[in-house]
Amino acid sequence: MAGNADAPDTGTDTVPLAIEARGLVKRFDGFAAVDGVDISVPEGAIYGILGPNGAGKTTTLRMLLGIIDPDSGTRRILGADRPHDVATRIGYLPEERGLYPAMKAVDAIAFVGALRGLPLKTGRARARELLEEHGLGYAADRQIRQLSKGMAQQVQIIGTLVHRPRLVVFDEPFSGLDALNQGRLERMMRDLAATGTTVIFSTHVIAHAERLCDEVAIIAGGKVPFAGSVDVARDRIPAQVRLETRAIDGAWRAALPADARNEGQFWYFSLPETGIEPLLRALIEGEAGILSLSIERAGLHDAFVAIAGEAAARALEAESPVEQKR
């Protein structure tokens, strides 16, 4: 299981791992940008590294890929202790985007593939296929400088995939994309995972992690206070019950949990550990007159607040106030 000693065990140790890192530490000028990070990414999963800017997401990804070496700790990628030994099986989209402006889209994609060992001729053929597949066939022979920012980013994403990697690493891939292209990228990630490709991406947008991820690592201040399934993270907070009753008072009120609060005809409280059935029986027998009852599980945002703290959550929201509400 990834994460610290407090993180629950979701059983990923029994699943083949695409990435396993233990105790990663990286300091810059004496500052610990990453301080003891543990991550385990199952093969074929969509895995998110969630945290505000400056939390250590990019530094962690760069250490995993071998772009920089950790000061201490170990990493194992696709079964290899040295990331460079499996570089041809990895696709990487860095946070800093950049393509040669004078290159045609098809050549830019082929060039990125060539950096991962794909022959240029094969890369050009695949580039045309992928551009057509993603609705950009008409732009294949246009120079990058002639494309919109969103189109250029899609070209770079396609370049990340042209050599058919088994592990794809995206660093803040949704930044700069409009809602339509964000949706396309989400579908692309799901399609990759469906074919057995492992996808790991960093993000400061909780909504993307909640919609896409099988598992997440929550990172704040260079540490990972939680790593595991999204459901386990959400279960850190008890589900909340909203109860509407016809009766205002009666013996049935003694059956309500201690944290129950009343707002008119509505009662709000945490789901009892014994479940809802014993409470329902008590309410019916006590003639509460149940008009409505709903149970709402905590969202990943609430889990993030509980795990990483209010300060980290405020930093997250400040960076993307619009996207957080999607």
CA distances for 108 relative to 139, 141, 152, 185, angstroms: 12, 10, 10, 19
Residue 307's identity, in one-letter code, is I
**Is CATH 3.40.50.300 correct for 12-232?**
yes
Q: pLDDT band for position 313 (50/70/90)?
A: confident
29: CB partners within 8 A, 6+ apart: none
Instruction: Give the pLDDT of residue 145.
Output: 93
Closest to 202 measured CA to CA, from 38, 59, 314: 59
Instruction: Give the pLDDT of residue 324.
Output: 40
pTM of the model: 0.82
More confidently predicted of 195 and 308: 195
Q: pLDDT band for position 188 (50/70/90)?
A: very high
Q: What are phi and psi of 256, to 5 degrees?
A: -70, 145
d(CA 80, CA 165): 15
For the chain, the average pLDDT equals 89
Is residue 298 scored above 90 in pLDDT?
no
Q: pLDDT tens digits for 205-232?
A: 899 999 999 999 999 989 999 999 998 9
Q: pLDDT tens digits for 7-45?
A: 444 444 577 999 999 999 999 998 999 999 999 999 999
Cβ atoms within 10 A of the Cβ of 98, count? 9
Are 297 and 234 within 8 A, CB to CB? yes
Q: pLDDT band for position 326 (50/70/90)?
A: very low
Residue 104's identity, in one-letter code, is K
d(CA 76, CA 208): 26
Instruction: Give the pLDDT of residue 131.
Output: 95
Q: Where are the domains of the chain?
A: 12-232, 240-296
Report the share of the chain in percent with pLDDT over 90. Answer: 67
